Amino acid sequence: MECPDCGHDRTSVVDTRSGADGTTVRRRRECSRCSFRFTTYERPEWETLQVKKRDGSIEPFDREKIRGGIERAVEKRPVTDDEVDRLVAEIHADIRDRGTRIVSSKLVGELVSEKLREVDSVAYVRFVSVYKAFSDPEEFVRELDRIIDEELGGEEVITDDADSGPDSPPDSEAD
């Protein structure tokens, strides 16, 4: 272990204890050259969350990637940094609580979508437009229609039909 003070690569462990959460090891170390003391924390590699990507590759779970995606989605929206922090923490906790070491990127995207939808529908649409990678505009419009329908609470939306023009009588007068 390299000394953070002088850079010497010879240090010795002077004290070892379990971390407060029981999953880490806290070690006090001392540099053999300058006698600088510092603390390191060790966590088993197998406990880190991993994300399985669509192409099958696996990479470490990165909270900053989640944060970046959320921040891009909520840009210029009335969502505070504290809310973004809360969303990232909730998503990480949801994933960790599943008790599995490897999660799919699809699950991560769905959790982010869910949380954004609760906070801001425009941010949700922004996120899913990238996450779901709509292949044609109709897919995107269908998703928007679904959101609008849910926002209106199932109320019937009146639209202009091709049959009704400015000269056609309203339905109530058609009798």
User: What pLDDT, in 10s, does the model give residues 19-55?
Assistant: 766 777 889 999 999 999 999 888 765 557 899 998 9
Task: For the beta carbon of residue 123, count every other beta carbon within 10 angstroms.
Answer: 24
pLDDT of res. 165: 46
Res. 67: pLDDT tops 60: yes
| DSSP string over 56-100 | S-EEE--HHHHHHHHHHHTTTSS--HHHHHHHHHHHHHHHHHTT-
Class of residue 115 by CB neighbours under 10 A (exposed 0-12, middle 13-18, buried 19+)? buried
For the chain, the domains span 11-43, 47-151
pLDDT of res. 128: 82
**102-104 and 50-52: which strand pairing?**
parallel
- pLDDT, tens digit (0-9, with 9 covering 90-100), for 89-118: 999 989 988 888 899 999 999 999 999 989
Question: How far apart, in Å, do the first and last CA atoms of the chain sit?
Answer: 89
The C-alpha atoms of residue 46 and residue 43 are separated, in whole angstroms, by 9
